[in-house]
Amino acid sequence: METELSKLQELIDELFEMRKRVAQSEALEAEHKRSEAIKSGTNRVLEMVARGAPLIEVLDVLARFIEEHADGMLCSILLLDSDGITLRYYAAPTLSKAYISSVDGFSIGPGVRSCGTAAYRKEQVIVEDIVSDPLWVGYRELALKYGLHACWSTPILSTSGDVLGTFAMYYSEPRSPSPEHLELITIATHIAGIAIESRGAEKALEESEERFRSAFDYAAVGMALVAPDGRWLKVNRSLCELVGYSEEELLSTNFQSITHPDDLEADLEYVQQMLAGEIDTYQMEKRYFHKSGQVVWVLLSVSLVRDSQGRPLYFISQIQDITERKRVESSLRDSLTLLSKKNRYESIISTVTRSVHHSLNLEEVLQNAVEAMSKNIEGVDNISIYMVDGQEAVLKAYRGYPNWFIEQVRKIPYPKGFTWKTIIDGKARYVADAEQDTVIGPAGRLLGTKSYAAMPISSQDNTVGVININSLHKNAFDEEELKLLGIVAKQIEIAINNAQQAEVLRQSEEILKEHLSHLCKKNRYESIISTVTRSVHKSVNLKEVLQNAVEALSKNIDRVSHVSIFLVEGEEAVLKSHVGFPGWFIERVKRIPYPKGAIWKTIIEGITIYCPDVDSDVVIGPAGKQLGIKSYLCTPINFEDKVVGVLNINSLEKCAFDEEELKLLQIVAQQIETAINNARTVEAHRQSEERYHTLFDQAPVGVYIFDRDLTITHCNKRMAEILSSSPEKVVGINIRRLKNQCVLPLMDRVLEGQNASYEGFYEATNSFAKLWVSIRLSPLRDAEGKVIGGMAVVEDVTERKRMEEEILKAQKLESVGILAGGIAHDFNNLLSAILGNISLTKLYTNPDDKSYKRLTQAEKACIRASDLTQQLLTFSKGGAPVKKLLSSLGDLIKDTASFAVSGSNVRCEFHIAEDLWSVEVDEGQVSQVINNLVINAQQAMPEGGLIKVLVDNVQINKEAGIPLREGKYVKVSVEDRGIGIPREYLSKIFDPYFTTKHRGSGLGLATVYSIIKNHDGYVDVQSEVGVGTKFFLYIPAAETKPERGTEEKMILGGSGRILVMDDEEAVRGALGEMLRYLGYEVECAGDGREAIDLYIKAKRIKRPFDLVIMDLTIPGGMGGKEAMEELSKLDSEVRAIVSSGYSNDLAMSEFRKYGFRGFVGKPYRIEELSRIVREAINRG
């Protein structure tokens, strides 16, 4: 037996060597390549999100990336509609299109396949076999038709926890997800959530900015937002068309660069006066240089916007093109030069020009024109100006005509005489001898006209009138008179245009005057209208406008007692402004609910209501009657075809108001409508501006902009937070002067027009934070494509790097654990057969025989061999601790540490708190942790020394800086005064196989890390070369205290029928014999399916089993967990215990959750087996 055990030990050693070589040469290399591939794919998708790629493209690339890393898997990404119920496919690269078409657009619910259920529950749903899972009832045949047998779905959640969609993996055979699958699922749902939320935020911002741009970009005149230093911040299309530059070209320069030098000084003087607060606005005529080089004359109107502290933000400029007007004026001056020989014509032109520019009354301009020409043109006898009115030419101004002639030619019908000939031809006409003319009419001949000249008057490319000059002499006029008439006609054209523009600008005022003409008996009403109108056009504060309106009405309307304005807010009419109401009345009517009283009747019907005598009124409320109102007038306030409020006046006298007050209130209501529009427009503009200016600061990542000199010119708040500084301190820093120069080579690439990126340790200056960052840089260009600087997007990844290190440790352990678990499983099965048979043989052997002692030694050797598997299990998923509640952790630590140093030149000094909290741990694993740490400390002090072991209670919170959940922990410290660990090795000491010892295996600290991690704890280390090392363990405290009791270590017999299920015949045989020895009747099965059949048969023949013992893992067959699930359906009272030497399943450590009454580990010890079997049967 000793020889066999020796060979077995050699086999274990060889397996360890094989595991080391395989793990180092293949597993780690494969894991590294996989991690790099996943990282690369993740970055590729995130870069698409960052550059604003369409969402459907991002999700398709993400799905294909996940499928590349999971052979044979089909994945899909579904998004939740805005209704919050319907799921639709957005990405499914390899899933059958016919299948997608059949199920697309389904509603989420508690039992709607994997995806619908995951979205409804907001939790992951794993369906390992579609054939048997109830979630796929009604969809099973469709799924199987397209070869789908497994579906794992995970909800995609927003940062606020809302469901955005689902991510699903499909397989063509039943299967459960591996840790690698779960990692891919986590990556996919995280990136999909980022992409979906990013697109949602961008869409909302685009809609908001579109509203802002529409109001700004489509203005009929040039509009611009200009920085205090003159830079164009925003320009509209009209301005771009006016100066010939594109929007990009203007935004890269300032207004000074296109302003004529002769106008720049005056413009800048106005700017300085506004910035100093000396003036609020200014207007001037100035010249811009068009991109073509031509000069453009404009009328510039400028106002300044300040922030809440009064600091200048930007100028709002309105720019109107007056080039044509200036051209005409210049043309007049040029023509006047040519007529220098006729100085008197200057008087005509001057008179007409002054008249045009000083009066908007066209009739006055025409009278002034004919008067000036009559006095200053030699040889002229008659002058007239006709304007076209439909099919008639109407005489508008004249000099020198007798009355009889005026009566005949006041209106000339189309197309008679030379007046209509000139209008139709649209060109000047001069007849030196009227006797030879065939066009002149009989009235002109009767008047004695011998020669005449006619000049058309044009407006907007149409002939709208004629200037006629007549003489009683032949050849009275020449070329100079025609030029003079042309100049006067041009001036009249300007007068016509001015009158038309003035008519448009004064339309509102004229309407008010027209109404006012009907209120002539109440001249003071003009004061009301003027006050309200000025208030509307001067202020965008709606509250101020409403208050001015009620005060003006109260002061200027006879017999009015109260004035009020109500605005609709939902189902209430809210009192906004009032004059004359007492306090008690205000409290009762400040919010009038729908549909009470005269106010709501006016709102609902949308018409003016006048009640001259309240005594006969059925609408007015009790509060109004109590106030003593005798008559009232209510006028609706409309906005965008809806009634939004009511203007109300009351009187304590009957019949207080008439038609004039009704019209007055309607006029004021129209002005209030304008005020509401102004207020909403300004508020919308303000909100859009606020969004426009805060986008930079609200970015979720750090952003800064630098120029070609590498000076930081802009920095957002997040960037300053990352650097633990402020934007004011960051802006102005030159990157060349930073302590960390890692980004300088990247800056050079950016200034050459390339994108660049960097991830690593970064330190800006001595005063700034040290951190790990991910930096993406891109060039910034001007309108000509020239690189003028760059932009850096900086993400603080310090926390992510720390977590990656933790994950890497776990992944290394996991790769080792896969092999270790398999070895442990097979080894424990061998030991189960050996130990079981040895224990049985001992039972039938006389204790006095020599063979009994040999059997006892072999039994102990098997038990020691079983302990060797514990280290292997620790690395495997099957090493999950089988915990029990323990109140004596201090005793366990003290016993283990003392035993570890026994017989050495090292001793332990213990400091253990008396009131230690209880813990729920696997005693064997925790003992192994203490043993490994103490042995390490002992080996670090070859000359001997003292090891301090401290155990105490600690409370962990966020401020502790330890990656643990907040709560109670038991802290264990193991401190030596040995050689210490070099700093460069500290990050590697928990890696499997890493060691600095000549004879070490590199598994001791890796075991410590794995065990404590599986207990939801944390391991930390501090060390200094030549001083010593301290290890710190944090183990979660239990919420309950253990019950006091003792375990009987004796063989307990029993009776009953037991069914044993195990795939190893040797194990079945040994276990069966042990149970028979204990007094039980035993039947055996090789897998779960056979066990179920035997169980059913036993029940049918009325000889049921009292207990079932099932091996958890059956390679290629049904294991214990699946069999237990089937048995529970057949018999809700089934009693079973689970057995295994290794498993990555929770059924061992959480056996009750799966219906088992207990568990027994391999190899079997007959004392433990007898106790567990007896308890399981008796508890039933």
Between 813 and 349, the higher pLDDT residue:
349
SS3 547: helix
Q: What is the CATH number of the domain that holds 1142?
A: 3.40.50.2300
Closest CA to 635 of 727, 740, 695, 550: 550
- Same domain flag for 146 and 85: yes
Beta bridge partners of 107: 86
In a domain, 810, yes or no: no
In a domain, 16, yes or no: no
Residues 214-259: pLDDT tens digits?
656 666 678 899 999 999 998 888 899 999 999 899 999 999 999 9
Q: Are residues 754 and 779 in contact, defined by beta-carbon separation less than 8 angstroms?
A: yes
DSSP code per residue over 749-806 = HHHTT--EEEEEEEE-STTSPEEEEEEEEEEEE-TTS-EEEEEEEEEE-HHHHHHHHH
Q: Vertex 936, ends 932 and 937: CA angle to 5°?
A: 120
Closest CA to 935 of 970, 906, 971: 906
Nearby residues of 33 by Cβ (< 8 Å), 6 or more positions away: none
Q: pLDDT grade, residue 1 (50/70/90)? A: very low
Closest CA to 917 of 1047, 1034, 1045: 1034
Between 1145 and 360, the higher pLDDT residue:
360
Burial annotation 438-448 (CB, 10 A radius, 16+ → b, else e) = ebbbebbeebe
- Same domain flag for 680 and 556: yes
pLDDT value of position 485: 84
In a domain, 535, yes or no: yes
In a domain, 375, yes or no: yes
Q: Are residues 486 and 455 in contact, defined by beta-carbon separation less than 8 angstroms?
A: yes
- Same domain flag for 228 and 284: yes
Q: Are residues 689 and 681 in contact, defined by beta-carbon separation less than 8 angstroms?
A: no
Nearby residues of 269 by Cβ (< 8 Å), 6 or more positions away: none
Instruction: Tell me which amino acid residue 657 is.
Output: F
pLDDT value of position 573: 92
- Same domain flag for 380 and 447: yes
Burial class (CB in 10 A: 0-12, 13-18, 19+), 13: exposed
pLDDT value of position 28: 57
DSSP code per residue over 212-253 = HHHHHHT-SSEEEEE-TTSBEEEE-HHHHHHHT--HHHHHTS
Residue whose tokens read 């709606």: 542
Please count the other Cβ atoms lying within 10 Å of the Cβ belonging to residue 229.
8
DSSP 501: H
SS3 540: coil
Q: Looking at 321, 343, 371, which one is the last position of a domain? A: 321
In a domain, 370, yes or no: yes
Closest CA to 118 of 137, 97, 135: 135
Residues 761-783: pLDDT tens digits?
776 554 445 677 888 899 998 87
Between 335 and 929, the higher pLDDT residue:
929
In a domain, 25, yes or no: no
Q: What is the CATH number of the domain that holds 241?
A: 3.30.450.20
pLDDT above 50 for 341: no
Q: Are residues 637 and 647 in contact, defined by beta-carbon separation less than 8 angstroms?
A: yes
- Same domain flag for 674 and 728: no
In a domain, 300, yes or no: yes
- Percent of the chain scoring above 70 in pLDDT: 82
Give dist(CA 801, CA 779) in Å, integer. 28
Residues 555-610: pLDDT tens digits?
888 889 999 999 999 999 999 999 999 999 999 988 999 988 899 999 999 999 99
Q: Are residues 189 and 42 in contact, defined by beta-carbon separation less than 8 angstroms?
A: no
Closest CA to 758 of 740, 771, 746, 741: 746
Residues 425-484: pLDDT tens digits?
999 999 999 999 998 989 899 999 999 999 999 888 889 999 999 999 999 888 878 888
Q: What is the CATH number of the domain that holds 930?
A: 3.30.565.10
Q: Are residues 737 and 754 in contact, defined by beta-carbon separation less than 8 angstroms?
A: no
Q: 415: cis peptide before it, omega within 30°? A: yes
- Same domain flag for 304 and 441: no
Of 255-259, 658-662, 1011-1015, 1112-1116, highest mean pLDDT: 255-259
DSSP H or E run through 57? helix 55-68
Helix spans in 388-441 (H): 403-409, 417-425
Q: pLDDT grade, residue 878 (50/70/90)? A: very low
Q: pLDDT grade, residue 5 (50/70/90)? A: very low
Residue 399 token pair: 């000099």
Beta bridge partners of 774: 759, 795
Instruction: Tell me which amino acid residue 1154 is.
Output: Y
Q: Looking at 175, 205, 235, which one is the last position of a domain? A: 205
Say how many Å lie between the first and final Cα of the chain, rounded. Answer: 41
CA 189, 195, 199, 202 dihedral sign is positive
- Same domain flag for 485 and 337: yes
Do you know the residue count of the chain? 1180
pLDDT value of position 1083: 94
Burial class (CB in 10 A: 0-12, 13-18, 19+), 1028: buried
- Same domain flag for 647 and 719: no
- Same domain flag for 379 and 491: yes
- Same domain flag for 936 and 1079: no
Give dist(CA 711, CA 751) in Å, integer. 13
Segment among 309-323, 608-622, 655-669 with least mean pLDDT: 655-669
Query: 244: left (phi > 0), else alpha (psi -120 to 50), else beta?
Result: left
Q: Are residues 632 and 598 in contact, defined by beta-carbon separation less than 8 angstroms?
A: yes
Nearby residues of 14 by Cβ (< 8 Å), 6 or more positions away: none
Nearby residues of 189 by Cβ (< 8 Å), 6 or more positions away: 154, 155, 156, 157, 167
- Percent of the chain scoring above 90 in pLDDT: 34
In a domain, 1124, yes or no: yes
Q: Are residues 916 and 955 in contact, defined by beta-carbon separation less than 8 angstroms?
A: no
Arithmetic mean of pLDDT over the chain? 82
Q: What is the CATH number of the domain that holds 543?
A: 3.30.450.40
Tell me the angle at which helices 1065-1077 and 798-843 cross, rounded to the nearest 10 degrees: 60
DSSP 15: H
- Same domain flag for 644 and 766: no
Q: How many CA atoms lie within 13 A of 153 on its CB side?
A: 27
Burial annotation 639-672 (CB, 10 A radius, 16+ → b, else e) = beeebbbbbbbbbeeeebbeebbebbbebbbbbb
Instruction: Tell me which amino acid residue 555 is.
Output: K
Q: Looking at 490, 505, 520, which one is the last position of a domain? A: 505
Q: What is the tally of structural domains in the chain?
A: 7
Range of the domain at 1133: 1057-1179
DSSP 3-state percent helix, strand, coil across the chain (nearest 5)? 45, 25, 30
Q: Are residues 598 and 562 in contact, defined by beta-carbon separation less than 8 angstroms?
A: no
- Same domain flag for 632 and 710: no
Residues 1108-1141: pLDDT tens digits?
999 888 888 898 889 999 999 988 889 999 988 7
Nearby residues of 53 by Cβ (< 8 Å), 6 or more positions away: none
Give dist(CA 641, CA 37) in Å, integer. 61
pLDDT above 90 for 902: no
Instruction: Tell me which amino acid residue 349 is.
Output: I
pLDDT above 50 for 65: yes
pLDDT value of position 1145: 58
Give dist(CA 1072, CA 1085) in Å, integer. 11
Q: pLDDT grade, residue 1048 (50/70/90)? A: very low
CA 1083, 1085, 1090, 1091 dihedral sign is positive
pLDDT above 80 for 680: no
DSSP code per residue over 1123-1163 = HHHHHHHH-TT--EEEEES--SSTTTTTGGGGT-SEEEESS
